[in-house]
Chains A and B, each alone.
Chain A
Amino acid sequence: MSVSLLVPILFTGVSLSAIYILVALGFTLVFGIMRVVNFAHGEFAMMGGFALLFLLDRLAWPYWLALPLAALMVGVASLLPERFVFRRLYGQELPSMIAALGLSVVLAEGGIILFEVHERSLPSAFSGLIHIGGFTFPEDRLVVVAIALAALAAFWLFVRFTRIGLALRTVAQDREIAEAQGIDTRATYRVTFFLATTLAALGGALFAQIYALSPLMGQVPLMKAFIIVIIGGLGSVPGAALGGVLLGMSESFLNTFYGASVAQFASFGAIILLLVLRPWGLLGRPEG
């Protein structure tokens, strides 16, 4: 394989991985801590895209301000369904999953009613091309990779070094012990959901920036999050990172050398194999 082919493949893989991890992280977090399979996760990503579009296009805010704010707006808004839907169903795996399916339909179809169904792109803050050593790198993707990495680092620092982060980890490990230690699980759930949807919204905003934005776009991030958490282990944060890299890179390589259909069959095949042999994923832990 020539280097001329390898560099763009790797670069595509890195940019795919970065966005995938952002979206999958929240999905796995919500499951790990709240035991909710959030089928509406992709729709929060979609909302991130529209929030960014609104801030950039209507209010003409500068990009650096608009991006984090868009993500935070969605995070705050997501506390409503957390309060009125999920909180009432905590601890009930299947009912909460079905309610999440309903929420996903409501948000996507609500998006169609509000924004119309067609695909659009965000006003491009970065549309240049950067040439390094004979290779071309689009600016927008470089920016996306940088932001995603920064967000992931911030998330890691938060979970590792803050009191709330410690609470999150404790609840994820054992809810009953955490409660016995005096940790307010409901508050933890709220923080978790907020963090998860904010990350998803950020991922969605970046996705909308380099790909396209439409009310129905949530399905793709959700599918990817599914695949990633199955690879990495449902509920495992390092697993989401590993799964994201594996999926991003393998998609890039397989699509290049064998075509899109093979890539899709391969990723589904891998999931089925993993679910059968190691349902808790590469880095998850088996349930007692």
Chain B
Amino acid sequence: MRRTSRIVWIAVALVVLLGTSTGWSEELKVGAIGTLSGGGTEWGLALQRGMTIAVDEINAAGGVKAGGKSYTLKMVMYDDQYTAQGGTTAATRLVNVDGVKYIIGPVGSPPVLGTIAVTNPAKVVVLANGYSPKIMTPESKYNFRVQIPTDYFAPAVARWLRQAYPQMKKVGIISPNDAVGQTLAPLHVQAYHASKFDVVFDEKYDRGLKDFSPLITRMMARGAELLELDGNAPGEAGLMVKQSRQLGFKGVIIQTGGPGLEEIIRVAGPFAEGFLSYDLFDPTDPTVQGYVKGYRAKYDGPIPGISVMYYNATRILHEAFKKADSVDVEKVRAALEKLDGTSTIFGPVRWTGQERYGIRHQLLHDFFISEIKDGKVRIKARVAAGE
């Protein structure tokens, strides 16, 4: 017994020593919420990776320096199971047990709505996405949306398409029958109408459908010349690209949503040639290349768009710490709101949303239209998101 207790004491002493020797920098916990089990795991892992890369970069560069102190970022992540209940549970734990003041994620409307129901009353800053209009309201003072929503970029893409393909008329839209599709499809219809396209086919399918040939056959019978893939997951979008080409569809295929170009090339193979997509960043940009390199060094497989989005969110939060010169929530929140013009992996960003949502917490930046050419992603155009 005495020997064990001595070992324990030595261990404690060692920990204390180690703690104080590296202890010039305090630990600053940043929460993360994402789906890590069941369907949607893809997004949670993407968030985890993007954020890990950002956190590692920040710590390698000396951590967060604010108010004369130095902090090492520590990421604490919980699973939300892609449900509101999971989001609520994870957020409750982060806020109350881990004492976190900043949360990155989750991905997707149900867990985001669950999360912000906990974090807004607790005054915890959340940087997340989610398409639901209920995420952005005047009361949501502490949550920010770091993904440009469709009602901002779809009209701009439609205008670009009108110019690029002046004679084109008929558009077909295929979307998933979930929160994404149900919210977004009407926005696409509106955007295409505004640019004088006819939407001749607007169809939803339930999760699990893998053979889209019947839907595409009917769409072709209606004479569609452009296929809009909306917010489909990259796997499904890739299948639609492949199957529509196999059925002999000769028109333009574009995904104004996503993006997941690399994943689409993986699934559709040679059939992906000529595919157009809304894209977040220019891969030739040096900052972006740094990210790509960082990702490849750690992980296999294609780089998911979501990972970049949350890498960016973490960097933006870091900018806010620097600007506030503090880790106090109110000061950081105020600094976040004043980040307009900050240069990021997506170029300069700004906030918008006052007229639309009654709160200026919507991130906005220029974006790109990419094309797949010779099996590689090429930037075709740079587009400014419309108000």
Contacts and interface: CB of A to CB of B under 8 A. Distances in A.
Q: Do chains A and B touch in the complex (CB under 8 A)?
A: yes
Interface of A: 4-5, 8-9, 12, 15-16, 109, 112, 116-121, 124, 127, 129, 136, 138, 141, 207, 211-212, 214, 216, 219-220, 223, 251-257, 259-261, 264
Contact of B214 (A112, A117, A256, A264): A256
Interface in B204-237: 204-206, 208-211, 213-215, 217-218, 221, 233-235
Contact of A138 (B203, B246, B266, B304): B246
B235 A220 contact: no
Contacts of A256: 214-215, 217-218
B235 A116 contact: no
B41 A117 contact: yes
Nearest to B176: A260
Contact of A214 (B208, B235, B247, B304): B235
B22 to A, nearest CB: 32
Interface of B: 37-39, 41-42, 45, 177, 203-206, 208-211, 213-215, 217-218, 221, 233-235, 238-239, 242, 246-248, 263, 266-271, 300-302, 304
27 contacts: A4-B221, A112-B41, A116-B301, A117-B42, A118-B235, A118-B301, A119-B233, A119-B238, A119-B263, A120-B266, A120-B267, A120-B301, A124-B269, A127-B270, A207-B210, A211-B211, A212-B239, A216-B39, A216-B41, A252-B211, A252-B213, A253-B214, A255-B209, A255-B211, A260-B177, A260-B209, A260-B215
Nearest to A13: B214
A13 B213 CA distance: 10
- Interface on chain A toward B: helix, strand, loop, or mixed SS? helix
B259 to A, nearest CB: 14
B267 A212 contact: yes
Nearest to B248: A136
A25 to B, nearest CB: 19
Q: Give the 10 A-B residue pairs with the shortest CB-CB distance, closest first.
A: A119-B235, A255-B214, A260-B205, A138-B246, A256-B214, A211-B210, A136-B248, A12-B213, A117-B41, A121-B267
B270 A8 contact: no
From A12, A15, A207, A253, residue with most partner B Cβ within 10 Å = A12
B38 to A, nearest CB: 8
Contacts of B234: 118-119
A56 to B, nearest CB: 13
Contacts of B213: 8, 12, 252
